[in-house]
Amino acid sequence: MSLNILLVDDDTVFREYVKEMPIWEKSEFVLKGEVKNAREALAFLLRHTVDIVLLDVSMPEINGVELSSVIADKYPAVAMVAISSYDDYDFVREILKNGACDYILKHRLTPDLLSAILDSIRTRLKNTSSWDAKKKLRQKTDFWLENGGSSPFFQNNCRKAVTIAEFSQMDSFTESIKDAFIEGILRIFEANSDDETDVLALFRPPNRFIVITCFYSAISEAFIQKKTDYNNLLCSNNINRIYHLSFKVHNCPLLLSDNAIRSYINHRIKEDTSKKQDNTLALSLTINQQKKLFSAIESRNNNAAALLIQEIFEKIPPSNYGLQMMVTKELLDLIDKVSVEYRLSLDFLPKGNRLFEYTKAKNPGELGNIISGLYTQVFREITSNEKDHKKYSEAVKMAMNYLQQNYCDPIGLDKTAKAVGLNSSYLSRVFHKETGVTVVDYLNQIRIEAVKGFLETNMPLKEIASRCGFQNYTYFLKTFKKYTGKTPKEYLSM
């Protein structure tokens, strides 16, 4: 990944000298911007992601020492390198105290020296996680919420969305388990940071988490609300999957000032829990609705499934985007389960971040029609597979059923033949003749489809492969590429 560099210097000739250096022709470093004073630098940092700042020590109005202090305070993850026309130890000492990584004289700065310095910083940044980089900001925000004073966030025009999540099952944890749990939850919330947003998560005893998301682009309140709901959904799924816990969520109103945000958070935290509206992020489809859908699929009753889906979406208020997205995701997850059971290849389903794009511009009625259409397509695929299945002999059908039910286990041709009471050579011959594929090919196809269903989770790829019956990881990677034409990473990014 490339590192973005900002050059801050009031010397036009020096800026041009740095801009012309061959280092920028490499992919490792990008000269993201060059500005002539501290005010322009701070304005640039508000709107762009910057990893390293090259800053002049001596500038008019706000000098390099003052600028380094602000950067260290407001952007602790940004590395700094100080540059100067003269060797002044007092400046050096103050800037290094503010966290600068290095200090160099302008007349000694060569392309090779700059490249060496940036490479050194790159190595250090690789060994510093985003979690560690935010440690100072997390502490300052905690203090600010408790005691007031100046905001820990730089006074800028970025919008901030705040979510308060409350867990009800933490009382039974021992202190050591609780500490690990808290850090794990905070990391899950902060993992939603991306190029356009930055997420900071804090714990409030005994059982609440405050999640502050900064939106740096000029976007609408509607988008902020939808993105916040989507992030809540992702966190809910991951926390439920890893810790088997759910939480109540309250999205604070979008406020313009940091002080207003602080006041609202403290008011909400102190408010009596019994007065809170129960917005538990749990499964939004009832068990009964899921049973009815599975029953409709098993009986091949497309009309019953379509009616039930329409009824589900009709009950969702158009303004409740979070519920709308959760319902959509669960209905798509059901299709995923069906595809594995019936060996369907359904690559048209939206995955990961595409779910957000898939739902954001649609109302519940439109989504209901679209999801009903997807279920209709699933019914067609099942019917088509069944017609093909009828052409097979009883022996081949038995072998297919055995492979579908036991693909997770270390099975192959010999075990399959033994299970259905046939000679392995005979089964191999008749299976290939009727299906056009070998027993091993058929088994691998089942396993690869099962793997696809796990790729959206945070489970390690090796564990996914093992769960789906692949005992050799190298063989799994070759097999996945053979049947999909892509590596697992390439497939996931589609």
Tell me whether residue 431 is in a domain: yes
Residue 337 has a pLDDT of: 76
What pLDDT does 215 receive?
87
Which of the two residues, 91 and 207, has the higher pLDDT score?
207
Residues 188 and 238: their CA atoms lie apart, in Å, by: 8
Higher pLDDT, 361 or 9: 9
Beta bridge partners of 34: 7
Whether 446 maps to a domain, the answer reads yes
* pLDDT at residue 492, rounded to an integer: 75
Cα–Cα distance measured from residue 492 to residue 494, given in angstroms and rounded to the nearest whole number: 6
Q: Are residues 367 and 348 in the same domain?
A: yes
Q: How confident is the model at residue 276 (pLDDT cuts 50, 70, 90)?
A: very low
Q: Are 299 and 328 within one domain? A: yes
- Distance, in Å, from the CA atom of 202 to the CA atom of 225, rounded to the nearest integer, reads 20
Question: Are residues 72 and 112 both part of a single domain?
Answer: yes
Residue showing tokens 């789906």: 468
The reply to whether 316 and 228 lie within a common domain is no
* pLDDT for position 139: 84
Has residue 263 been placed in a domain?
yes
Report the Cα 419 to chain-centroid distance in Å.
43
Both 355 and 478 in one domain: the answer is no
Copy the structure tokens of residue 319. 């303004």
| Residue 155, domain CATH | 3.30.70.3400
pLDDT of residue 83: 86
* 191 lies in the same domain as 252: yes
User: What's the DSSP call for residue 252?
Assistant: P
Q: What pLDDT digit, counting tens, does each position of 281-312 carry?
A: 444 677 778 888 888 888 888 888 889 998 88
- The CA-atom distances, in angstroms, between 208 and each of 204, 239, 373, 453 are 5, 14, 40, 32
Confidence at residue 277, expressed as pLDDT on a 0 to 100 scale? 45
Q: 282 in a domain, yes or no?
A: no
Q: Is the pTM of this model over 0.75?
A: no
pLDDT of residue 209: 94
SS3 content of the chain, % helix, strand, coil (to 5): 60, 10, 30
Name which of 346, 166, 176, 333 is nearest 241 in CA terms.
333
- How many residues in total does the chain contain? 494
Max Cα-Cα span within the chain? 89
Query: Which DSSP state fits 280?
Result: B
Within a 13 Å sphere around the CA of 462, how many CA atoms are in the beta-carbon half?
A: 3
Residue 463 makes CB contacts below 8 A (sequence gap 6+) with none
User: Regarding predicted confidence, which is higher, 105 or 359?
Assistant: 105
49, 50, 55, 59: CA torsion to nearest 10: 0
| Rounded to 5°, angle at Cα 466 from 422 and 397 | 25
- Average the pLDDT over 250-263 and give the result: 82
Residues 199 and 149 in one domain: yes
* Most confidently predicted of 95-104, 267-276, 325-334, 401-410: 401-410
- Collapsing DSSP states into helix, strand and coil, what is residue 189? helix
What DSSP element (H or E) covers 163? strand 159-167
Residue 447 resides in a domain: yes
Regarding whether 345 and 425 lie in a shared domain, the answer is no
Give CA–CA dist 330/335, Å, rounded.
9
| 275, 297, 327 - which closes a domain | 275
Indicate which CATH number applies to the domain containing 460: 1.10.10.60
Q: What total number of domains does the chain contain?
A: 4
Least confident of 96-100, 225-229, 315-319, 457-461: 96-100
- For the residues 201-209, what does the mean pLDDT come to? 90
DSSP 153: S
Nearest to 416, CA basis, from 190, 334, 101, 426? 426
100 with 155, same domain: the answer is: no
pLDDT given for residue 40 in this prediction: 92
Please give the pLDDT value at position 278. Answer: 44
The boundaries of the domain holding residue 259 are 133-275
In a domain, 281, yes or no: no
Question: Which CATH number does the domain housing residue 30 bear?
Answer: 3.40.50.2300
| 416, HSE (Cβ side, Cα atoms, 13 Å) | 29
Same domain, 8 and 78: yes
Final residue before a domain boundary, out of 275, 309, 329: 275
Instruction: Name which of 332, 244, 251 is nearest 285 in CA terms.
Output: 332
Query: Percentage of residues in the chain with pLDDT exceeding 70?
Result: 84
pLDDT confidence of 279, banded at 50, 70, 90? Answer: very low
Question: What is residue 253's DSSP assignment?
Answer: P
pLDDT class of 456 with cuts at 50, 70, 90:
low
471 domain residue, yes or no:
yes
Q: Does 239 share its domain with 292?
A: no
Q: Which residue has the higher pLDDT, 282 or 151?
A: 151
Sign of CA dihedral 171, 174, 177, 178: positive
Instruction: Average the pLDDT over 127-133 and give the result.
Output: 67
Does residue 280 lie in a domain region? no
Domain end marker among 359, 388, 417: 388
Residues 368, 309 contacting (CB under 8 angstroms): yes
More confident residue, 459 or 207: 207
Beta bridge partners of 215: 159, 197
pLDDT band for position 361 (cuts 50, 70, 90): low
Rounded Cα distance between 315 and 309, Å, is: 10
| Whether 384 and 439 share a structural domain | no
Give the residue-averaged pLDDT of 395-407.
Answer: 90
State yes or no: pLDDT of 280 exceeds 60: no
In the predicted model, what is the mean pLDDT of the chain?
A: 81
Distance CA 461, CA 455 (A): 8
